Amino acid sequence: MTAQTDHNPANANAQSTGRTLISVDAMGGDEGPAAVVAGCSLSAKINPDIAFVLHGDAAVLETLVTKTPALAGICEIRHASDIVTMDDKPSQVVRTGKDTSMWSAIESVRTREAAVAVSCGNTGALMALSMIRLRKLEGVNRPAIAVLYPSANPQGFNVMLDVGADIRADADDLMRFALMGISYARNGMDIKRPRVGLLNVGTEEHKGRTELKEAYDLIRAQEAGAGFDFVGFVEGGDISGDVADVIVTDGFTGNVAIKTGEGTANLVGRRLREAFGYSLWSRIASALAYTSLQRLKMKIDPRRVNGGVFLGLNGTVVKSHGSADATGVSAAIKLAAQLSQSQFNDKLAARVAATLPVEDKSE
Amino acid sequence: MTAQTDHNPANANAQSTGRTLISVDAMGGDEGPAAVVAGCSLSAKINPDIAFVLHGDAAVLETLVTKTPALAGICEIRHASDIVTMDDKPSQVVRTGKDTSMWSAIESVRTREAAVAVSCGNTGALMALSMIRLRKLEGVNRPAIAVLYPSANPQGFNVMLDVGADIRADADDLMRFALMGISYARNGMDIKRPRVGLLNVGTEEHKGRTELKEAYDLIRAQEAGAGFDFVGFVEGGDISGDVADVIVTDGFTGNVAIKTGEGTANLVGRRLREAFGYSLWSRIASALAYTSLQRLKMKIDPRRVNGGVFLGLNGTVVKSHGSADATGVSAAIKLAAQLSQSQFNDKLAARVAATLPVEDKSE
């Protein structure tokens, strides 16, 4: 806790300039630091309220930042000599990763210099480091990773969690996932009264595993006066549907589901390109439809909702896709900024710590 | 077993005409018996080797069949006065459903009059009735429902099981799902040497739940000389991918995954229609692209791969989608005919009964 005090001047500094400081692991992604710096630049151009602390090889980052006018005066570089690779084992990183850019980026959140860290790196290592360094929030047994999934709802996306922080979840964990997801939907997506669904193989109350029936009752018990609606059990088709804004499930099922959905969307896209490439007429049609297809791509482009959020820790960590380009990194930063500016993590902590419905109203 | 002998003359009769007899529950679907009879007619026009026994209200069915030239002389009607509705509870149907068309359709398989039954009815009731009346194959603890899922593989589809016969599966069940899936891929899809993948949240051997690691070893132990390749763990994205032909998982995960994929594909289709309807140019493009889009629809139309197959029973039951139209019913009948003509269930029984890799070669 001493370190926290040490860094407070920096925090005060960011606040005095009126900007939200975002901690960025600049070395983690497949595309290298150039893509990360380009993403920061894109974000800075559209959001005048943010500043960055970039973690990584100082020589490399200084060269990149110097060439980027949008980052002038709002970007501090913090040297880290080592990098976590995609093949590194989480347990190994926790033991020997002190000099990595990922460790350093999380450290900025631990010391409260920044409220949110962003990394494109190794998910397992990022989760393990976040758990060990930030520690779990009071009242949280299992942290969760939440993603935004394209949906038929007006906001265009649903919150889904857990998608792979842990492969297990008991009834109590699922109830807390619901509370964390509600906080996220409210603060990350501006949904005033989120509708929550519990993922199952049918919508009838008698269906599914024992822990799901227990979780059903636990979530129902939290509902009164807590500012959300529990719509009960939902099915796989509802993840992209419009009956709920928050979909709650265990990390095994959630991980399989989002990867299945992503794979299926890719297959449809591939078949669509084949169909349009088939004949002269279809190629002309494809040219005419270019704007429409671009519009479609905008709506379902996974890069535009890039960012899994680790929930349930003392501080927020946004995991950007490993293969994210500047657009993807920028989307993750936008999300990080919004969560930071809404004091999301404090509200989430208050909500989860409160075990009685009455206290739950505090958020 | 006496009933079996009673019905043998009918069986001999179907065989003497050189046609494969398919038992059809004509009353089960949302679209009513007219859609089912139209589906039988479509099938009869393209397959000269099949005949039907239609179960349901004799007066209704006789009127429909009389108006259908393609069914003349190849369609026996067996009266059943009652219908299983979509809301009926499986346990109730098992106790009091003796006079339903679904019960009667399964009875034709139980007596070996037909090798395969087709129904568009209530899935839970169909599974419960099939379990009770047909009983499990020797060596099978949990039967499974297998579906064909659109994929990037040359055959265009992968076999996936279980997608919801049971919400549980232990390591031994998963190994037997693999064997049943292999038999299905070979006899239903003509894949000589199926590649099998076990669904998990990562492809590394150390990942996932305990029963998955155990199942990994059990499937590996079956591999030698048994005519399939075990590709190890696969992820959600591989369900529509090209690394495996058979995807093995428990019924909870499988059910969520296929519904997620279906929902996502529907959302993409909806967004695509919106994109094409947006401007005058995009509408012209849409008209020009009509043939291409129809071609796409053909490739990913779920009606064309309609039919979940119940595996692991003494006889095969094909569950057609409840909302299937004539095209959908016809696809389910085509699948039923192929499985029946390849003596699929006898081969599957031999494979599953054999617990030693050496005996597995028998199929």
Domain boundaries defined on chain B? 1-139+312-342, 141-307
Give B210→chain A minimum CA distance, Å. Answer: 11
Whole-number pLDDT of residue B9? 38
What's the pLDDT at A288? 65
* Average pLDDT estimate for B325-352: 87
Average of pLDDT values for A269-274? 78
Nearest CA in chain A to B152: A267
Do residues A360 and A226 touch, judged by C-beta distance below 8 A? yes
Say yes or no: do domains B1-139+312-342 and B141-307 share a fold.
Answer: yes
Q: List, in sequence order, every residue forming a beta bridge with B195; answer none if it has no partner.
A: B229
How high is the pLDDT of residue B252?
95
Q: Which of the two residues, A139 and A273, has the higher pLDDT score?
A: A139
Q: Between A259, A266, A293, which is nearest B275 by CB? A: A293
Residue A229 has pLDDT above 80, yes or no: yes
Q: What is the mean pLDDT of chain A?
A: 86
Instruction: Give the Cα separation of A148 and A251 in Å (integer).
Output: 15
pLDDT tier at A163 (50, 70, 90 boundaries)?
very high
DSSP assignment of A62-122 equals HHHHHT-GGGTTSEEEEE--B---TTS-HHHHHHH-TTBHHHHHHHHHHTTS-SEEEE-S-
Q: Which residue has the higher pLDDT, B52 or A293?
A: B52
**Residue A363: its pLDDT value, please?**
41
Q: What is the CATH number of domain A141-305?
A: 3.40.718.10
Please state, as a whole number, how many other Cβ atoms lie within 10 Å of the Cβ of residue B338.
17
- Mean pLDDT, residues A158-164 taken together: 93
Provide the pLDDT confidence category of residue A265 given band limits of 50, 70 and 90: confident
Q: Can you give the pLDDT at residue A80?
A: 97
Q: Residue B275: which pLDDT band, with cuts at 50, 70 and 90? A: confident
For chain A, the helix, strand and coil percentages under 3-state DSSP, each to the nearest 5: 50, 15, 30
Per-residue model confidence (pLDDT) at position B133: 95
Question: Is B131 a residue whose pLDDT tops 60?
Answer: yes
Chain B hits for A256, CB-CB cut-off 8 Å, are 199, 201, 235-236, 249, 253, 256-257
Asked if B278 and A262 come within 8 Å (Cβ–Cβ), the reply is no
Q: What pLDDT band is residue A295 in, cutting at 50, 70 and 90?
A: low
Cβ neighbour number for residue A71 with a 10 Å cutoff: 20
**% of chain A at pLDDT higher than 70:** 84
Residues of chain A contacting B201 with CB distance shorter than 8 Å: 164, 167, 251-252, 255-256
pLDDT at A206: 67
Shortest distance, CA B46 to any CA of chain A (angstroms) = 27
Span B144-163, average pLDDT: 92
CATH dotted code for A1-138+312-343? 3.40.718.10
Which is more confidently placed, A70 or B279? A70
ipTM of the complex: 0.84
pLDDT over threshold 70, residue A335: yes
A154 contacts in chain B (CB < 8 Å): none
How many Cα atoms occupy the beta-carbon half-sphere of A103 within 13 Å?
18
* CATH architecture designation of domain B141-307: 3-Layer(aba) Sandwich (3.40)
Q: Which of A73-77, A350-354, B169-173, B299-303 has the lowest mean pLDDT?
A: B299-303
Average pLDDT, chain B: 86
pLDDT at A247 exceeding the cut of 90: yes
pLDDT of A125 above 80: yes
Note whether A288 contacts B282, CB cutoff 8 Å: yes
Tell me, what's the pLDDT at B360?
39
Residue with tokens 């679209």: B31
Confidence of residue A296 (pLDDT cuts 50, 70, 90): low
- Band (pLDDT 50/70/90 cuts) for residue B288 is low
Cβ distance of B285 and A281 shorter than 8 Å: no
DSSP state of B345: H
Q: Do A259 and B266 touch (CB under 8 A)?
A: no
Instruction: Read off the pLDDT of each residue in B232-251 and give the average, rounded to a whole number.
Output: 96
A171 or A347, higher pLDDT: A171
- Candidates B241, B289, B300; nearest CB to A285: B289
Closest residue in A to B299 (Cα–Cα):
A271
DSSP result, B42-54: HHHHH-TTEEEEE
In this predicted model, which residue has the larger pLDDT, B347 or A74? A74
Q: What share of chain B is helix, strand, coil (3-state, %, to 5)?
A: 50, 15, 30
Radius of gyration from C-alpha coordinates of chain B: 21
pLDDT at A304: 56
Which is higher by pLDDT, A293 or B46?
B46
pLDDT at B238: 96
Report, at the CATH architecture level, how domain B1-139+312-342 is classified.
3-Layer(aba) Sandwich (3.40)
Instruction: Collect all residues of chain A within an 8 Å Cβ-Cβ radius of residue B162.
Output: none
- What is the DSSP track for A13-38? HHHHTT-EEEEEETT-STTHHHHHHH
Share of chain B above pLDDT 70, in %: 84
Q: Tell me which of A8 and A95 has the higher pLDDT.
A: A95
B-chain residues near A272 (CB < 8 A): 272, 296
pLDDT tier, A279 (very low <50, low <70, confident <90, very high otherwise):
low
Sheet bearing A246-248, strands edge to edge: A75-79, A50-56, A20-25, A116-119, A316-319, A308-311, A144-150, A157-161, A246-248, A195-199, A229-234
Confidence class for position A15, pLDDT limits 50, 70, 90: very low
Residue in A closest to B300 by C-alpha: A268
With contacts defined as CB-CB under 8 Å, which chain B residues touch A88? none
The residue type at B264: T
Q: How far is CA B180 from CA A260, B166, B196, B311, B352, in A?
A: 22, 15, 11, 7, 7
Distance from CA of A207 to the nearest CA of B (A): 9
Partner-chain residue, chosen from B249, B252, B262, that has the shortest CB–CB distance to A209: B252
pLDDT at A23: 97
Residue A175 clears pLDDT 70, i.e. is over it: yes
> For residue A211, what pLDDT band results from cuts at 50, 70 and 90?
very high
CA distance A271 to chain B (A): 6
Per-residue confidence at A10, pLDDT binned at 50, 70, 90?
very low
Is the pLDDT assigned to residue A257 strictly greater than 70? Answer: yes
Residue A34 is encoded by which pair of tokens?
């150039």
CA–CA dist A59, A64 (Å, integer): 9
Which residues does A146 contact at the CB level (< 8 Å), separation at least 6? A159, A160, A161, A162, A163, A180, A181, A184, A308, A309, A311
pLDDT-wise least confident of A349-363, B117-131, B269-283: A349-363
Between residues B40 and B363, which one has the greater pLDDT?
A: B40
B187 pLDDT tier (thresholds 50, 70, 90)? confident
Check residues B220 and A353 and name the one with the higher pLDDT.
B220
Query: What are the pLDDT digits (tens) for A18-29?
Result: 799 999 999 988
Tell me if A201 sits within 8 A of A213, measured CB to CB.
Answer: no
pLDDT-derived band at A347 (thresholds 50, 70, 90) equals confident
Q: What number is the average pLDDT over the span A154-179?
A: 92
Q: What is the mean pLDDT of residues A137-166?
A: 91
- Partner-chain residue, chosen from A164, A289, A291, that has the shortest CB–CB distance to B289: A289
Average pLDDT value for residue range B258-279: 81
Task: Reply yes or no on whether the pLDDT at B160 is more than 90.
Answer: yes
Q: How confident is the model at residue B352 (pLDDT cuts 50, 70, 90)?
A: confident
Q: What is the pLDDT of residues A302-334, one digit of tens each?
A: 555 567 899 999 999 999 887 788 888 998 999
Band of the pLDDT at B203, cuts 50, 70, 90?
confident
Express each pLDDT in A47-100 by its tens digit: 999 999 999 999 999 999 999 999 999 999 999 999 999 889 999 999 999 999
Nearest residue of A to residue B258, measured between CA atoms: A236
**Residue A297's pLDDT is what?**
65
Is residue B359 predicted with pLDDT exceeding 50?
Answer: no
Quick one: pLDDT at residue B15?
Answer: 46
Write down the pLDDT at residue A250.
96
| pLDDT surpassing 60 at residue B362 | no
High-pLDDT (> 90) share of chain B, %? 60
- How far is B277 from chain A, CA to nearest CA, in Å? 9
